[in-house]
Amino acid sequence: MREHNAGVEPVATPHSVSPDERWALVARLCSSPHLHRSTRLKELLHYVCRRSWNEGADEIREHEIGVAVFQRPHDYDSAQDTIVRVQASQLRKRLERYFAEDGRAEPVLLELSKGTYVPLLREREEPLMLPPQALPPPAERNWRGLVWVLASACLILSAACGWLLYRQNAAATPPTAGPSVRQFWSAFAANGAETYLVVADSSYAALQDAVERSIGIDEYVRRGYEAEFQRDSLPPKYGDLLRYLMARRYTSLADVMVVRRITEARLLNPARTSVVHTRDHNIRAFQSGNHILIGSQRAIPWVNLFDRNMDFHLYDGKEDFHLKHDTRDSRVWVENRRPRPGELPRYISQSRGSEGTEGYALLACLPNLGRTGNVLILAGSDMTSTEAAGSLLTTESFLADLLQRLPAAKASGAPHFEALLRTTRVESSNRGFEIVALHPH
């Protein structure tokens, strides 16, 4: 997401905007579908606007917001607790979406300055009208069509995900969690620790497909992949399309469905839980708190932080990939680094048969980097496999069976383990799954 439109220098207060008009704009924002159901984001927006417009603050610090808005203690460490940065990133995205959609007729835009958290107002520019261009050669049209199909598919999927994630049905009765489900998830809601539900970066996965190579975590963090946009072998127009794709934060429908199952069952403390996009998370955050990573390694590079200590290898898009797609027949295989008696060193899915198509999902519950909390990884070879992993963790009978096969966890602690699931699907519907390997840690 861009922080400001290129070439535009925001100003603090356009001369034509009165104080009443400023607050009227805030009221329209807070009542819009983008914000009206998010109490914390509305409180954050009101706070920074009041500090800047009513109290004349020309600098608003992260620590101040954490204490005033998110009720953190005065001595809390903002380097370890990233709640302000996460919520500010969410607010920036919601503001941009509002002015691009419901507020597209607003003459004045409100933006949140990154880093300083100071609200900025600027007048909307007239859209630039581009002259018509001649059609590119057929080969270029094919390449452009591929990228646009990726971008369009992600856009449609993102809209569906947003609808599923944020809609609420007050009349619906939330599912009741059984004792095994409550026992397992209590470790992610104990001691007031922050929990992050991290959804996959579908644009990142699509980019790797487009450039036909893996993009590692270091390159992802420092945005080294942007060099791909200027490759000599890549026509400039297609570089622009890839840049457009990577400027958006798209995710998978399967990830959203898993988040929905967790939140509807009320398994986590909503005051201490944030849903974040992979690109808005950071390495330092994994030193503390709880993190639930939903999606494959191709779409969540943070899984690489834990891969060296894992028994089952996750897909990384290289020749030595761990969860690998055979391009000849679309089969999937999983490498078992440390096979136990009765296990295979490699699990290979069968081709499509009368029972459906096989896939695999990996569940791993591991300590965070600081060993002060937990990291839960749900990775599937396809959408239905990821959903199967989420189903296991939220269904009493399935989770009770898994926990009975593990050593008892410490009081108020989560059991650390890795489980490999074999899944079966017909078209896009899950036909079931089985645990084929289970490794306690």
Q: What confidence score (pLDDT) does residue 70 get? A: 87
Q: What confidence score (pLDDT) does residue 72 get? A: 87
Q: What confidence score (pLDDT) does residue 344 get? A: 92
Give the pLDDT mean for 244-268. 86
Using CA atoms, how far apart are residues 333 and 121, in angstroms rounded to an integer? 53
Strand partners, 356: 353
Residues in the chain, how many? Answer: 441
Confidence of residue 317 (pLDDT cuts 50, 70, 90): very low
Classify residue 214: in a domain, yes or no: no
**31 lies in which domain range?**
19-123
Classify residue 241: in a domain, yes or no: no
Closest to 385 (Cα-Cα) out of 409, 358, 415: 358
Among 86, 108, 123, identify where a domain stops: 123
Mean pLDDT of the chain: 78
Classify residue 288: in a domain, yes or no: yes
410 and 269, same domain (yes or no): yes
75 and 186, same domain (yes or no): no
What's the distance, CA 196 to chain centroid? 9
Query: Between β-strands 374-380 and 331-335, what pairing exists: parallel, antiparallel or unpaired?
Result: unpaired
Classify residue 307: in a domain, yes or no: yes
327 and 408, same domain (yes or no): yes
Give the pLDDT mean for 150-157. 51
Using CA atoms, how far apart are residues 177 and 267, in angstroms rounded to an integer? 8
Q: What are the pLDDT digits (tens) for 155-203? A: 545 544 444 444 444 334 445 678 999 989 988 877 678 899 999 998 8
Strand partners, 434: 422
CB atoms within 10 A of CB 414: 22
Q: What confidence score (pLDDT) does residue 105 get? A: 87
Q: Inter-axis angle of helices 396-404 and 383-394, to 10 degrees?
A: 80
Classify residue 431: in a domain, yes or no: yes
Locate 266 and state its tokens: 């009320």
Classify residue 243: in a domain, yes or no: no
310 and 372, same domain (yes or no): yes
Strands (E), 304-389: 323-326, 331-335, 346-348, 357-367, 374-380
Give the pLDDT mean for 39-48. 89
Classify residue 379: in a domain, yes or no: yes
Domain count, the chain: 2
Under DSSP, the state recorded for 416 is P
Q: What are the pLDDT digits (tens) for 93-132? A: 889 889 988 888 888 999 987 778 999 998 887 544 444 4
Query: Does the pTM of the predicted model rise above 0.85?
Result: no
178 and 312, same domain (yes or no): yes
| Range of weakest confidence among 91-100, 287-296, 339-348, 420-429 | 420-429
Exposure of 154 in the CB half-sphere (CA atoms within 13 A): 23
Q: What confidence score (pLDDT) does residue 151 get? A: 52
**Burial class, 222, CB count within 10 angstroms (exposed 0-12 / middle 13-18 / buried 19+):** exposed
Among 123, 138, 162, identify where a domain stops: 123
